């Protein structure tokens, strides 16, 4: 289980009529033949929330990684996130998005669009740095835990028996312990090893829900004729798993990976907020909120910006996940008992 | 059924054992309880270190440490045996720390869970029935938003806007444009969703609701209601009548005069009882309240029994529900009337931001209730949001699926009313998969409680846990772990049992 | 001749969907007299269920229904929701295809039957339950009193369908619509269920609309037959005529697909191909893509249901005369090149 289990079921597309007519299977008759890939793409693009979310996420990623640069590549923003600068405008944001006819001075970015902290660091640069780390952690968790979960679920579902037993009992175990508590202990012990290591460790904790889903799919796929046929023709087990079964579970896996990223971004933020995640001198969106929460009454923007970015990222990713789910199986009811 | 439960309990105990071992290994191997001495130059450093090694058995092999801990911990699960979870780094027994902290957290977790379930499920179901309406879209978006909110961020925001600003506002109530807009928007959305119907009809209702709500709000502010709020007999009576009508609608229809009159009679009995017993309600005990409640319920049941005729079951149910509604109204009325007194006692800052109660607070029953409520409301809200999102999305999807089921079509084909189809046939089946969700969600609520407690300064399990992790305090961490693990397993068990009760296919197999 | 209780005139149903307008039913007409049995026959997807549900008011709200449906002279499509609800279950009852899912899994069979009775009669639960037991007994469920306390999952498929029949007759309706009541069942129980249906129909004096895609089951039961194709009635006749003197190539094809009727050495002559998509139907006869008798006119002009050489026999085919001339029309589908 993850801190926020991906129980996001069905969100029908925002079109006039969804695909929930009472005669589910019979509708197939009326649908023109299209390839699976085309249909998935078409439905994804038509999902308004997903399209907006996707655009927003791409903008945030580009903004975060090009503005202050990363690794050795310099960015286009003129200030670094560690440098202290003279306080301008009392430290308040200089960004002004209101056009001239409302407040008279028109659109303006200014020297410190997101403001400055007490010691004069540029808060735009800091927020971008936090976004970079948070995104990196979330994506590493999303990819790695999906990999672990898919492999464990595939083994469990394909081989059954003893392997299945061990893996499923282990997931039972992890489900008993609220993820935040175990993550806090592990994060506290390993936090000084850096964000990447933290991401790897957290991945080891949140793969279980996907493993169960993949296992379920494999259990039913195992009974399908073409899998039996492949087996009868002497195909090797890895070949059956990778050629015949995984492609059929790909929808589940991709959707779950997406939702895991949303979960991960919030988990990292919560851990860093409690002091068990990212440590300074590294920074992350959660750590920024934690650092500046007491400044709310004096410098509220220090609190608003990182929170806003967390919400934008998580919301975008959740909508993308929803769009993908709709795209992969528009009809199937998504209530999993 | 009995053997099913027994099997589940045994399996849970085994999981608990395995989890305890895993966590013990993790906790003892990942932290160094002697770390805080490395930089210290206390004169008796060597003795302190030696003492700690002895109390924590650090010189013994890991397995021995585990079994020593387990030996004490097992006592906690067996009645009559002493419960010993070891001591923390300050030599306090973990058991007593937990005994102190547990009720605080339980209060928070239970309040959040129950509210999330009730609100989430009702709104999810309305959303499903009103699929593709503005209400449905708004709820869908809100659910996604709540899912994406970092809970600590929400908690800090709630503290600022839900407490500090509200307190400021209550000190000097005034109508501002933003408040008016928010109130108008919410009432418009809510009432147009409840009424439904054609687009024009919804628009009119929404408009009316918005104007009405703002007018009421302005009136209340102008009359100084917010500094001395109350409901008064008029509002209570109208509310009671509404409860009777609502209960009748739920169990039959308004054309069923017999049931309607029985429910109205119960409502009247409730209001009369409350005002006749007003002296008793000055500073009552829970016992008095339950006694009065039971009296009204008994009157309602009696009315239903005697006059119910062939609708006896429906009439009794409506009467019982009505008496609950009236009881709640009277309770709210009494609580709200002591608001002014309470507010004065806490220096005019009624919505609390810290702790689970005002220290050393003494007052009447109603003031203590208010005190608890004002402390509970914000943290509960923060924890609730995510769970609410889950329940509303899940029950919406579940309901949509069930509404398309063949047996719902059969129910319609029988000529049942839409109310019966939805409540009796669809709703009951839609609840079955939700039992699983409740179990999964509980872990998330506990995580939420840990974070929220730190923001709102509650001295509960969350703070116990975070402070222990900061100090690498193994036994204190283990104590919190075991309690949460037991809570989660217990909740799973309850979910499994309710699953079996809801679904005869499982119950009878 | 007995009184007409139901007349359906030019009934059409359109579903707006993401992919376009689905014209599920396109101008279906028929009438039903007291105690009559009308069979509606057609392939899967031909609009049989939709047409039936339209008159029960069971289609989703977004379905666009037009036409004129009269139950004892009363306009069914224009009824108030309240009157429409009273009609359902009380005057017109329906039995569905899949007995496994048609009953609510969480209530006992007896409760579900009693509920159907109580929604149209103000009686105590006990009375309704007794009535439910009586009905279960009448449809041949042994130990009905005990079985009424069982849940649907404790019944076999055949027993559930019997229970559904019991539910349908509990209010002594005038019309029972049975939508493929035996399709989901074992062959061995199919005949028993149909027999039960006919028996109880007589006991309550109801007329039956029997929906099926199997012309084989129609023979011994129905008086009239309506053949549907792509949302249209394409042939309407007495049951004898349908079997012995079909006038529509499609009907002939259906007859050729029935194993039992094919005496010529067990060889079947099924119709090849699939029905057209109901979205953006091409002009002309919808059957033209599969018809052995297709002519140029068929591709441009859609035939209307019109009289033939036989009384009470209508057909929607430009070339019905050619079918009439063919000695054994089922052989039309043997080869593709019979076209004259
Ligand atoms: N709610 C709906 N929305 C869109 N299309 C629908 C809907 N209900 C039915 N249809 C379409 O209407 C057509 C007719 O369906 P119908 O269920 O009446 O067929 P049928 O003749 O009963 O077939 P079967 O023998 O399989 O039951 C089908 O193509 C189906 O896809
Ligand atoms: S109208 Fe033409 S295509 Fe259609 S059934 Fe008759 S002959 Fe065949
Ligand atoms: Mg059908």
* Confidence at residue C3, expressed as pLDDT on a 0 to 100 scale: 86
Cβ(A302)–Cβ(A117) below 8 Å: yes
- Which ligand sits closest to the CA of A31? 1
pLDDT of residue A331: 52
| Mean residue pLDDT across chain B | 87
Strand order in the sheet with C306-307: C92-95, C175-179, C207-212, C37-42, C224-229, C232-238, C314-315, C306-307
> Contacts of residue A57 in chain B, CB cutoff 8 Å?
none
**Average of per-residue pLDDT across B248-277:** 91
Ligand 1, residues at Cβ distance < 6 Å: A 21-23, 26-27, 29-30; C 15, 17, 22, 24, 42, 44-50, 60, 180, 213, 278
User: Is the pLDDT assigned to residue A330 strictly greater than 60?
Assistant: no
Binary contact (C22, A32; C-beta < 8 A): no
Give the mean model confidence (pLDDT) for residues C265-284: 75
Strand ranges (DSSP E) for C4-95?
A: 4-17, 20-33, 37-42, 64-71, 74-75, 92-95
Question: What is the token pair recorded at C206?
Answer: 């109801």
A9/B22 touch (CB, cutoff 8 Å), yes or no? no
A175 in Cβ contact with A1 (< 8 Å): yes
CB-based contact B486:B16 (threshold 8 Å): yes
Q: Are strands C224-229 and C306-307 parallel, antiparallel or unpaired?
A: unpaired
Q: CA-CA distances (angstroms) from residue B131 to A11, B128, B419, C61?
A: 11, 5, 16, 12
- pLDDT of residue B148 exceeding 50, the answer is yes
Res B406: pLDDT: 93
Q: Is C183 on the interface with A (CB under 8 A)?
A: no
Could you tell me how many CB contacts below 8 A there are between chain A and chain C?
29
pLDDT, position B265:
95
Instruction: Grade residue B56 by pLDDT with cuts at 50, 70 and 90.
Output: confident
CB contacts of A23 in chain C (<8 Å) are 49
Question: Alpha-carbon torsion B344, B345, B348, B351, what sign?
Answer: negative
- Do the beta carbons of residue A124 and residue A63 sit within 8 Å? no
Q: CB A23 to CB C279 under 8 A? A: no
The better pLDDT of the pair A168, C273 is held by A168
Q: Is C285 in the pocket of ligand 2 (CB under 6 A)?
A: yes
CA distance B503 to chain C (A): 6
Q: Chain A closest CA to C140's CA: distance in Å?
A: 31
Ligand 1, atom 25, residue with closest C-alpha: C44
Of A19, A22, A26, the CB nearest to C60: A22
Task: Identify which of A262, A275, A333 has the shortest CB distance to residue B401.
Answer: A333
First to last CA, chain C: 42
| Side-by-side strand order, sheet with C4-17 | C20-33, C4-17, C64-71, C74-75
* Among candidates B140, B160, B393 on the partner chain, residue whose Cβ is nearest the Cβ of A7: B393
On the CB side of A293, CA atoms within 13 Å amount to 21
pLDDT at residue B232, rounded to an integer: 83
C287 lines ligand 2 (CB under 6 A): yes
Share of chain C above pLDDT 90, in %: 53
Give B 391-420 residues with CB within 8 A of chain A: 393-394, 396-398, 400-401, 404, 409
Contacts for A255 with CB less than 8 Å, ≥ 6 apart: A321, A324, A325, A328
Share above pLDDT 70 across residues of chain C, in percent, rounded to a whole number: 95
Task: Tell me how far apart the alpha carbons of residues B375 and A184 are, in angstroms, rounded to a whole number.
Answer: 27
How far is ligand 3, taken at its centre, from the CA of residue C178, in Å?
A: 10
Computed over every residue of chain C, the mean pLDDT equals 88
Q: Does B151 touch chain A (CB under 8 A)?
A: yes
pLDDT at A113 over 80: no
pLDDT band at C291 (very low <50, low <70, confident <90, very high): confident
pLDDT of residue C118: 92
pLDDT tens column, C295-314: 899 999 999 888 888 888 99
Residues of B in contact with A262 (CB under 8 A): 147-148
Quote the minimal CA–CA distance from C340 to chain A in Å.
33
The confidence score (pLDDT) of residue C5 equals 94
pLDDT at C1: 54
Least confident range of A87-101, A178-192, C214-228: A87-101
pLDDT of residue A3: 36
Nearest neighbour of B503 by CB, restricted to C94, C106, C164:
C106
The residue contributing the CA closest to ligand 1 atom 20 is: C45
Instruction: Select from A181, A303, A319 the Cβ nearest to the Cβ of B484.
Output: A181
Do residue B160 and residue A296 have CB atoms under 8 angstroms apart? yes
C57 close to C43: Cβ distance less than 8 angstroms: no
Q: What's the rounded Cα separation, in Å, for the pair B414 and B402?
A: 17
Compare CB distances from B414 to C89, C98, C106 and report the shortest one's residue.
C89
Which of C169, C174, C107, C90 minimizes the C-alpha distance to C132? C169
The pLDDT of residue A203: 92
Q: How many whole angstroms from C285 Cα to the centroid of ligand 2? A: 6
**CA nearest neighbour of B221 among B254, B172, B182:** B172
A28: CA distance to ligand 1 center in Å?
A: 10
Strands (E), C55-191: 64-71, 74-75, 92-95, 175-179
Q: What contacts C56, CB < 8 A, 6 or more positions away?
A: B413, C88, C92, C94, C177
Query: Nearest CA to CA, how far is C279 from chain A (Å)?
Result: 7
| Better-predicted residue by pLDDT, B64 or A24 | B64
pLDDT for the residue numbered B242: 94
pLDDT in tens, B351-395: 888 888 888 888 889 999 989 898 999 999 999 988 899 899 999
For range A139-155, the mean pLDDT = 93
C329 in contact with ligand 2, CB cutoff 6 A: no
State which of A121-125, B5-9, C16-20, C117-121 shows the largest mean pLDDT: C117-121
Beta carbons of C18 and A15 less than 8 Å apart = yes
CB contact (8 A) between residue A27 and residue C17: yes
Gap between the Cα atoms of B500 and C7, Å rounded? 48
* Residue numbers in A near B19 (CB within 8 A): 173, 176-177
Instruction: Using the predicted structure, report yes or no on whether residue C20 has a pLDDT greater than 90.
Output: no
The residue written with tokens 């109205």 in the block is B264
pLDDT number for residue C32: 94
State the closest ligand 2 atom to the C-alpha of C323, by its place in the atom list counted from 1.
7
The whole-number pLDDT of residue B508 equals: 66
Cβ-defined contact of A177 to B397 (cutoff 8 Å): no
Atom of ligand 1 nearest to the CA of A23: 8
Q: What is the pLDDT of residue A334?
A: 34
For residue range C195-215, list pLDDT tens digits in order. Answer: 999 999 999 999 999 999 888
Interface of A with C in 200-239 (CB under 8 A): none
Ligand nearest to the CA of C54: 1
Lowest-confidence pick of A17-21, A58-62, C8-12, C270-274: A17-21
Distance in angstroms (rounded) separating the CA atoms of residues A133 and A71: 12
Q: What is the mean pLDDT of residues B193-208?
A: 81
Report, as an integer, the average pLDDT of C100-117.
94
The mean pLDDT value of chain A amounts to 78
| Residues with C-beta atoms within 5 A of ion ligand 3 | C 49
Ligand nearest the Cα of residue C285 is: 2
Q: Quick check: C80 pLDDT over 70?
A: yes
Whether chain B has a CB inside 8 Å of the CB on C153: the answer is yes
* ipTM summary value: 0.90
Nearest CA to ligand 2 atom 5: C317
Nearest CA to ligand 2 atom 1: C317
Angle between helices C125-138 and C109-118 (to 10 degrees): 110
């Amino acid at each position: 289980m993850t801190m926020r289990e991906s129980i996001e079921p069905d969100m029908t597309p925002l079109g006039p009529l969804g695909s929930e007519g009472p005669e589910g299977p019979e509708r197939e008759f009326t649908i023109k033949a299209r390839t699976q890939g085309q249909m998935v793409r078409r439905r994804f693009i038509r999902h308004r929330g997903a399209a907006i979310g996707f655009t927003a996420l791409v903008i945030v990623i580009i903004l975060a990684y090009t503005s202050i640069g990363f690794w050795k590549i310099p960015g286009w923003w003129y200030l670094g996130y560690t440098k202290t600068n003279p306080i301008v405008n009392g430290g308040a944001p200089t960004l002004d998005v209101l056009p001239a006819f409302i407040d008279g001075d028109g659109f303006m970015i200014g020297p410190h669009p997101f403001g400055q902290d007490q010691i004069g660091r540029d808060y735009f640069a800091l927020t971008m740095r936090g976004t970079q780390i948070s995104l990196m952690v979330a994506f590493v968790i999303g990819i790695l835990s999906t990999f672990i979960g898919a492999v464990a679920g595939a083994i469990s579902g394909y081989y059954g028996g003893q392997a299945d037993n061990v893996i499923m009992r282990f997931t039972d175990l992890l489900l008993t312990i609220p993820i935040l508590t175990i993550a806090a202990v592990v994060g506290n012990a390993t936090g000084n090893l850096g964000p990447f290591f933290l991401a790897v460790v957290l991945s080891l904790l949140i793969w279980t829900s996907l493993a169960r889903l993949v296992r379920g799919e494999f259990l039913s796929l195992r009974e399908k004729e073409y899998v039996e046929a492949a087996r009868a023709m002497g195909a090797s087990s890895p070949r059956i798993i990778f050629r015949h079964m995984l492609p059929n579970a790909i929808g589940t896996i991709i959707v779950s990976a997406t939702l895991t990223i949303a979960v991960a971004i919030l988990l990292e933020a919560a851990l860093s907020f409690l002091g068990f995640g990212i440590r300074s001198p590294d920074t992350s969106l959660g750590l920024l909120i934690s650092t500046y929460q007491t400044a709310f009454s004096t410098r509220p923007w220090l609190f608003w910006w990182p929170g806003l970015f967390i919400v934008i990222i998580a919301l975008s990713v959740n909508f993308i996940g929803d769009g993908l789910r709709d795209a992969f199986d528009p009809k199937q009811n998504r209530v999993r008992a | 059924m009995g053997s099913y439960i027994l099997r589940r309990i045994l399996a849970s105990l085994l999981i608990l054992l395995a989890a305890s071992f895993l966590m013990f290994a993790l906790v003892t191997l990942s932290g160094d309880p002697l770390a805080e001495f490395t930089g210290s130059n206390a004169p008796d450093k060597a003795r302190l270190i030696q003492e700690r090694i002895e109390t924590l058995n650090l010189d013994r092999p890991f397995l021995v440490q585990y079994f020593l801990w387990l030996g004490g911990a097992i006592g906690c699960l067996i009645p009559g045996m002493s419960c010993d979870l070891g001591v923390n780094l300050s030599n306090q027994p973990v058991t007593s720390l937990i005994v102190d902290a547990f009720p605080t957290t339980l209060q928070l977790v239970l309040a959040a869970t129950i509210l999330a379930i009730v609100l989430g499920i009702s709104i999810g179901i309305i959303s499903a029935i009103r699929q593709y309406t503005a209400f449905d879209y708004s709820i869908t978006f809100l659910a996604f938003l709540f899912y994406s909110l970092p809970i600590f961020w929400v908690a800090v925001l709630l503290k600022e806007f839900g407490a500090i600003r509200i307190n400021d506002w209550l000190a000097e109530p005034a109508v501002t444009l933003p408040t008016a807009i928010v109130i108008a928007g919410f009432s418009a959305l809510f009432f147009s969703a409840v009424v439904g119907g054609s687009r024009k009809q919804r628009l009119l209702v929404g408009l009316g609701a918005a104007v009405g709500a703002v007018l009421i709000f302005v009136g209340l502010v102008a009359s100084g209601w917010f500094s001395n709020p109350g409901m008064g007999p008029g509002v209570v009576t109208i509310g009671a009548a509404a409860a009777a009508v609502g209960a009748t609608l739920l169990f039959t229809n308004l054309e069923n005069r017999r049931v309607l009159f029985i429910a109205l009679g119960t409502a009247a009995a409730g209001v009369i009882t409350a005002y006749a017993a007003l002296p008793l309600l000055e500073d009552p005990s829970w016992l008095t309240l339950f006694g009065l409640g039971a009296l009204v319920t008994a009157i309602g049941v009696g009315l239903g029994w005697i006059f119910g005729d062939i609708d006896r079951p429906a009439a009794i149910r409506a009467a019982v529900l009505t008496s609950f509604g009236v009881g709640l109204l009277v309770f709210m009325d009494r609580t709200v009337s002591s608001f002014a007194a309470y507010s004065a006692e806490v220096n005019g800052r009624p919505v609390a931001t810290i702790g689970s109660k005002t220290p050393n607070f003494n007052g009447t029953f109603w003031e203590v209730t208010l005190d608890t409520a004002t402390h509970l409301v914000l943290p509960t809200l923060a924890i609730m949001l995510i769970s609410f999102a889950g329940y509303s999305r899940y029950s919406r999807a579940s309901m949509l699926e069930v509404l398309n089921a063949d047996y719902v079509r059969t129910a319609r084909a029988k000529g049942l009313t839409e109310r019966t189809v939805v409540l009796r046939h669809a709703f009951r089946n839609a609840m079955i998969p939700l039992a699983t969700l409740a179990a999964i969600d509980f872990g998330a609520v506990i995580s939420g409680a840990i974070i929220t407690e730190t923001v709102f300064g509650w001295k509960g399990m969350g703070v116990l846990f975070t402070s222990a992790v900061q100090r690498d305090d193994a036994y204190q961490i283990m104590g919190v772990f075991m309690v949460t693990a037991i809570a989660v397993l217990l909740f799973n068990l309850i979910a499994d049992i309710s699953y079996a009760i809801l679904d005869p296919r499982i119950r009878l197999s | 001749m007995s009184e007409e209780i139901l007349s359906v005139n030019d009934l059409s149903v359109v579903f707006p969907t993401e992919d376009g307008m689905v014209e599920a039913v396109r101008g279906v007409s028929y009438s039903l007299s007291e105690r009559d049995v009308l069979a509606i026959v057609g392939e899967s997807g031909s609009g049989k269920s939709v047409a039936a549900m339209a008159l029960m008011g069971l289609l989703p709200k977004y379905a666009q229904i037009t036409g004129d449906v009269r139950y004892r002279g009363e306009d069914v499509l224009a009824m108030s929701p309240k009157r429409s609800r009273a009609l359902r279950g009380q005057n017109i009852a329906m039995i569905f295809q899949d007995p496994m899912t048609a009953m609510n899994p969480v209530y006992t069979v007896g409760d579900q039957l009693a509920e159907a009775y109580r929604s149209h009669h103000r009686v105590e639960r006990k009375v309704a339950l007794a009535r439910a037991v009586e009905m279960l007994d009448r449809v041949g469920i042994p130990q009905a009193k005990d079985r009424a306390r069982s849940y649907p999952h404790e019944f076999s498929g055949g027993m559930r369908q019997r229970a559904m029949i019991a539910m349908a007759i509990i209010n002594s309706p005038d019309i029972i619509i049975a939508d493929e009541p035996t399709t989901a069942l074992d062959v061995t129980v199919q005949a028993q269920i149909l027999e039960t249906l006919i028996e109880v129909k007589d006991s309550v004096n109801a007329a039956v609309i029997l929906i099926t895609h199997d012309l084989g089951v129609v023979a011994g039961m129905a008086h009239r037959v309506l053949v549907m194709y792509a949302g249209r009635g394409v042939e309407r006749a007495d049951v004898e005529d349908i079997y012995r003197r079909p006038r529509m190539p499609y009907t002939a094809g259906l007859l050729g697909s029935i194993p039992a009727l094919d005496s010529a050495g067990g060889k079947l002559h099924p119709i090849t191909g699939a029905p057209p998509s109901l979205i953006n139907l091409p002009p002309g006869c919808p059957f033209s893509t599969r018809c052995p008798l297709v002519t140029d006119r068929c591709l441009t002009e859609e035939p209307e249901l019109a009289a033939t050489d036989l009384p009470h026999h209508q057909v929607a085919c430009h070339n019905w005369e050619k079918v009439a001339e063919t000695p054994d029309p089922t052989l039309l589908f043997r080869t593709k090149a019979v076209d004259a």
